[in-house]
Chain A
Amino acid sequence: MIAFIIRRLVILPVIILGVTLITYAMFSLLSPAEQLAAYVSSPTQLHGGTAAVERLIHTYGLDRPIWERYLNWLDNIFHGKLGWSTYANMWVSQAIAAYFPATLELAIYSFIPVIIVGIWLGVLSAVKQNTIIDHLTRIMAILGWGFPSFVLAIFLILIFFGILGWFPPGRLSTWADLVVSNLTSFHFIRYTGLNTIDGILNWRWDITWNAFRHLVGPVFTISFLEWAILLRVMRASMLEVLRQDYVRTARAKGLPERVVIKKHARRNALISAVTVGGLLVLGFFTGGAITETVYNYRGLGYFFVFSATQLDSAAIMGTALVISGGVVLTNLIVDVLYAIIDPRVRLE
């Protein structure tokens, strides 16, 4: 077991280094003049014609050889800066730290419905295989799996905000934002950066409530896409478990069906559900980027998409690196966890 973990830990930096290589290889597709766009937001800044362009390229070191810049960038990563983001106007690492709490909050609240509903429906669907419940659940899963997140998000905004006015986009309403930014007489302390938690810690339940209302839309969008993943796996493993001998034995013993499913089948099916942890995190980053953008919810995904559309190279590469690090780490944790809880697994 320990040898397995160590070997995975050794491979980790190799993978991360590989990611930096392909990211930088992609970045090198940009010519110096294209990279300049991050610093020249309008051609009105090109007074002096081509001479001005050359001066700019030289100032930002865009004419230096690519390998030198790559090593520079790696050096930058080791110093924890990840380069300067022209979109966020700060170091990329600072920006990621600043955007992270919003994404974390979104993740926490998204995973709760995903896990509850995903597992519950997955079990239900397997137990009632080929009944109408199973079909409906499968349609739900297919819908969730295939519904374009941006379309879902826009539909939800249209209905729940445009028409009903319940769940506004953004992270906080203006009045709440003023409180959190300490522009009112109230002294608001930022303990965690998570609005819902900070609201409680400051004993401002109205802030918590306001933050919740802003979370409903994005949380629903993300979890609707995510629970399909869990549901499918849960259903499959449940079906497999139900065919196992020990389940048959339990049934043969005359145990009530409810007990058989709960005590014997579900517990074992849950073990294989752990394996989708990595998939869920992957899906969260994918769905989160779009959802945060459409809901104007300023988290990591929002930052990533906007820096991509404005070609803030350092931010694009830095965020991608951090995301892939998150995925790799999750996979590692999932593997280890799986090994611990499932005695049948032999780690090679």
Chain B
Amino acid sequence: MWRHLNLRWIVGAALLLLIATAGGAVSAAQNQVKNPDTLIEATIGGPETLDPAWGYDTASGEVIQNVYDTLIFPKADSASEFVPMLSTNVPSVADGTISKDGLTYTFHIRQGVKFQNGDDLTPFTVKYSFERDLIQDRAGGPIWILLDPILNVGTWDSFVAGVAKKMGVADQYAKDLKAFDPTKPGTYTATMKQVDQKAFNEMAGHFQIKGNDFIVRLAKPAAYFLSTLVGNWGSIVDWTWVTSKGVGGWNGGAATWRFFHNPKAEQSKLFSEMNGTGPYKLASWDRVNKKVILVRNDHYWRTSAAVKTAIIEGIDEFSTRFLLFQKGDADMIYVPRQNVGQVDPLVAELCTPKAGGPDFTMPANRDKCQATGNKNATLRLFKDLGENLNQGVYFQYDINPTSKYIGSGKMDGQGVPPEFFSDINVRKGFAYAFQYKTYIQQAWLGEAVQPTGPIPASLPFNNPENPIYFYSMNDAKAEFQMAWGGTGHIVAGPNGVLDSAQVLTEDDVIKGDTIQPGPDGVLETSALGDDQIVVDKTGELWNKGFDLTLLYNTGNAQRKTATQIFQKNIQNLNPKFSITIQSEAWPQYLKDLIAGNLTMFVIGWLEDFHDPHDWVVPLMASYGAFSGFQGKTLLDYAKAHWDALINSASVELNKAKRQADYNKLQLWYFEQAPSVVTVQALGRHYEQLWVKGWFYNPLYPGQYFYNMSK
């Protein structure tokens, strides 16, 4: 028996020892600066690529912004002003660097700048960088942003096809292109070669080098051109390095670009290597641990960055990020909205913008920060940061008749007809049935604002006076009664003025002539109007009812809540109304979106460049990323009414006229209600107290470590 005892004793003792020493090894020394030479950011996800012309996600953009420089850069505390960077000037009409017709932009290229491998920055490599952007134009990539102002096309392929058409070989070209296989040079036919070279030369004609100047000639006077240059696609790469043997990238020639066009992520030669002029160099991209390690560029053309190393780590689990943060092992982390309550007791300094609403920039000064008085707190929190991100619920006007989500597919109470949402009263009924304030208060914990239409408040040419929908069960009811064959009219209330509809909610309490919040503590009403919709005849929809499935893509709590609010309120309107909520993983959601199966989709738009053009295009144009998926009825409507106005607004150089155009578009969007624009989120930024110099600029894709010290 002693042997058993022996074994037991050994195991027991080993365990004890392990536990005891492990416990003893933990000694938290909190207040001194941890890892003073390293800035560590723990966030979610990771870059898809390191190629500036390929990346179209914020994680890639963040790395690229720290390693590459652009011609111009966002001004520290502004989203719509720029400062010189690799160009010594920000082009303007005043000094003649933008021509009067708004077509020609001149950049004076900075001299004496070196790439991280020692090569010189030249106007030639600037020109090469832009040409490389345009010819690479990968499917689903960001290059449309540059193609639109410079060549006035949507894709590089369509530009080349246009050239082929002009040459009269469109058919032959299309045929050859279909048979073309980049791995077999033999399939590159003479016709293709001719067309490709002609197209390339035509494109290259838009860029010009004059001495030390780089001149861009636009195809249309796009007023927003400068704002497109600060994205990662505006980065300047080094021709000598890209074409070197080690990298093997495109040599800049007209004859070879075809083989570097539309690469997959891994086929792009700059996929995992970087050589920019920026403040940090890439040390390693550890794709197993989702970690990008950057080290300071000691030969930076400005003063070198303050901190030697910067690490961006992708940790998907919030709990793990929070633990690192608590131990001081991360300097800043991403905190999802629902988890802020866990972190807040650790906040020692709270920085909020000026009272009375969101701030869309956060200057570098610390005047606005106040001590919270929390004990043992070690963090600083910036609140109410206006993100250029709108959440909305987009209706599908022509649901695929084979969709599983429309029940019987008929107006018989057991489903909805595919054209359900092409009825404007249905869309408005949904818009009125949404509890905007409850949604902001509860799902967003109060940190969001209701947008005034497709263009958020943080953008130029936003119209703050644009009407918005508000929660009103009466209006929702009237709209649903008028839908599908009902009729009605609006009458003014006792004051004889038509202003807005009367609002009565289930929760709010009317006392005298003011409305006070009900038991849920949230005031739903936005205006106390006294207009009334008088319904003369209820439509088929109201009489028969409907059954509909709303879908959101899994993993987004706020989007789920939005659909649940619709469900709760609309089912309360009429016992014959039935809404089912269903979640789908992104792949299935994407498939259903593309196939038109979704009855509506809940989605957010994050701007690519800071101009209303980047908002009206995705939300309103017939080729938009969102409106393009809302059904043929809306597509036709947009083609007939909106596309021309969107285009003319984008090339309007007169600010007042431009404003008028955008006001018109915003009001039009309200009247048609193709979507319910729910919130513009206000962000938060948490950091350790020892981090210095951080400020908010909504144009940064992530952290710009050059500003920070420790």
Contacts and interface: CB of A to CB of B under 8 A. Distances in A.
Interface stretch (A83-91, A222-230, A278-286): A83-91
Contact of B590 (A43, A59, A86, A166): A43
Contacts of B40: 174
Interface string A30-60: 1101111111111111111111110110111
A221 to B, nearest CB: 15
B35 A311 contact: no
A249 B624 CA distance: 87
Given A37-B587, A44-B618, A84 B266 contact: yes
B231 to A, nearest CB: 13
B287 A48 contact: no
A173 interface: yes
A183 interface: yes
Contacts of B587: 30, 34-38, 311
A49 B1 contact: no
Interface residues of B, number: 77
B140 interface: yes
Given A49-B622, A98-B288, A169-B320, A41 B594 contact: no
B329 A174 contact: yes
Contacts, number: 172
Contact of B140 (A45, A120, A310): A45
A40 B590 contact: yes
Given A47-B144, A55-B155, A216 B309 contact: no
Given A124-B4, A183-B38, A88 B287 contact: yes
Nearest to B49: A89
A88 B591 CA distance: 23
Contact of B288 (A39, A46, A88, A116): A88
B198 to A, nearest CB: 22
Q: Which of A31, A46, A209 gathers most chain B CB within 10 Å?
A: A46
> Which size class do A's interface residues fall under?
35 or more
Contact of A306 (B28, B35, B316): B316
B588 A59 contact: no
Given A56-B139, A168-B323, A41 B329 contact: no
Given A41-B48, A48-B144, A99-B288, A59 B262 contact: yes
Interface stretch (B76-84, B222-230, B569-577, B625-633): B625-633
A45 B28 CA distance: 45
Contacts of A166: 19, 22-23, 26
Contacts of B49: 89
Given A44-B618, A47-B624, A33 B595 contact: yes
Interface string B55-95: 01100000000000000000000000000000000000000
Q: Which of B3, B140, B624 gathers most chain A CB within 10 Å?
A: B140
A37 B635 CA distance: 24
Interface in A160-178: 161, 164-170, 173-175, 177-178
B264 interface: yes
Contacts of A91: 266
A144 B626 CA distance: 50
B623 interface: yes
B572 to A, nearest CB: 31
Contacts of B593: 43
A185 B283 CA distance: 15
B465 interface: no
A46 B628 contact: yes
A44 B35 contact: no
B35 A175 contact: yes
A165 B283 CA distance: 32
Interface in A323-341: none
Contact of A174 (B23, B155, B324): B324
B561 interface: no
A264 interface: no
A294 to B, nearest CB: 9
B56 A45 contact: yes
B323 A40 contact: no
B315 A59 contact: no
Contact of A43 (B35, B46, B623, B625): B625
Given A183-B309, A216-B18, A48 B154 contact: yes
Contacts of B264: 59-60, 84
A299 to B, nearest CB: 10
Contacts of A164: 23
A8 interface: no
Contact of A89 (B48, B323, B590): B48
Contacts of A216: 18, 22
A41 B44 CA distance: 13
A44 B157 CA distance: 20
Given A43-B593, A311-B586, A262 B57 contact: no
Contacts of A177: 289
Q: Which of A39, A44, A47 gathers most chain B CB within 10 Å?
A: A47
A188 to B, nearest CB: 13
Nearest to B603: A43
B11 A55 contact: no
Contacts of A42: 57
Contacts of B140: 39-40, 45-46, 52, 55-56, 59
Contacts of B588: 34
A298 interface: yes
B585 interface: yes
B1 A48 contact: no
Given A165-B26, A213-B22, A49 B629 contact: yes
Given A40-B590, A46-B629, A262-B3, A174 B330 contact: yes
Nearest to B587: A37
Contacts of B317: 296
Contacts of A50: 594, 628-629
B605 interface: yes
Q: Which of A37, A50, A86, A216 gathers most chain B CB within 10 Å?
A: A37
B399 interface: no
B527 interface: no
A18 to B, nearest CB: 26
Interface in B276-297: 283-284, 286-289, 291, 293
B623 A89 contact: no
A34 B590 contact: yes
B606 interface: yes
Q: Which of A56, A174, A309 gathers most chain B CB within 10 Å?
A: A174
B371 interface: no
Nearest to B154: A48
Interface of A: 30-31, 33-53, 55-56, 58-60, 84, 86, 88-91, 95, 98-99, 116-117, 120, 124, 157, 161, 164-170, 173-175, 177-178, 181, 183, 209, 213, 216, 258, 262, 296, 298, 306, 309-311
26 contacts: A36-B591, A42-B57, A43-B593, A43-B603, A44-B56, A44-B608, A46-B625, A46-B629, A47-B623, A48-B155, A49-B622, A49-B635, A50-B628, A52-B139, A59-B262, A59-B264, A95-B288, A98-B288, A166-B26, A173-B329, A174-B329, A175-B35, A175-B329, A178-B38, A181-B284, A311-B586
Given A55-B139, A310-B586, 9 more contacts: A33-B591, A47-B625, A48-B155, A50-B594, A58-B139, A88-B288, A95-B287, A216-B18, A311-B587
Report, nearest first, the 5 A-B pairs whose CB atoms are least far apart.
A49-B628, A37-B587, A174-B329, A33-B591, A59-B139
